Amino acid sequence: MGTRMEGIKKQLHREKYKLTPQREATLQVLIENEKAHLSAEEVYLLVKDKAPDTGLATVYRTLDLLSELNILDKINFGDGVARYEIRKEGVKHFHHHLICLECGEVNEIQEDLLSDVEEKVASKYNFLVKDHRLIFHGICEKCQKIK
């Protein structure tokens, strides 16, 4: 059984991108922090532990590349910082985020809540849906209890 890392390495090779230590370290960080919604800066700091000479610009370039190859999702919670997370292999790309207005915690919903809604959009507005972003703002369970 191939690991996620192996699969991505093959993809890079297939598409004629060089496998540099910086790219490998970046990938490792993203795989190890699958649910963390890391910013470029955060990825950079973690990459420096593995490959200390890596520059921030390279991390940005790597994140761009991996996003373009659909290995990563670049997401934006509206706070002016781009965040990155690795896509699950093969899985249809549907997950949503719950952002707590009190504590800032970001949680994920993995199930696809929108298939009905997408159908409606397609038929009613003649819009061919390729992807969607759904973010809920509200109060998480923990913060509801504190009040």
Partner DNA sequence: GTTAGTGCAAACGCTTTGCATTGCC
Partner DNA sequence: GGCAATGCAAAGCGTTTGCACTAAC
CB within 8 A of 44, min separation 6: which ones? 54, 56, 59
Stretch 11-50 residues interacting with DNA (CB under 7 A):
13, 17-23, 39-41
**Can you tell me the distance from the alpha carbon of 138 to that of 102, in angstroms, rounded to the nearest whole number?**
8
CA 39 to centroid of chain Cα atoms: 10
CB within 8 A of 28, min separation 6: which ones? 5, 50
13 is in an annotated binding site: no
50/87 with CB nearer a second copy = 87
53/131 with CB nearer a second copy = 131
Under 8 Å between Cβ of 8 and 71: yes
Q: Choose from a second copy, DNA, none: what does 123 bind? Cβ within 5-8 Å by kind.
A: none
Supply the minimum distance, in Å, between the C-beta of residue 39 and a second copy: 14
Q: Choose from a second copy, DNA, none: what does 78 bind? Cβ within 5-8 Å by kind.
A: a second copy
Contact positions vs a second copy (CB under 8 A): 74-76, 78, 80, 98, 101, 107, 109, 113-114, 116-118, 120-121, 125-141, 144
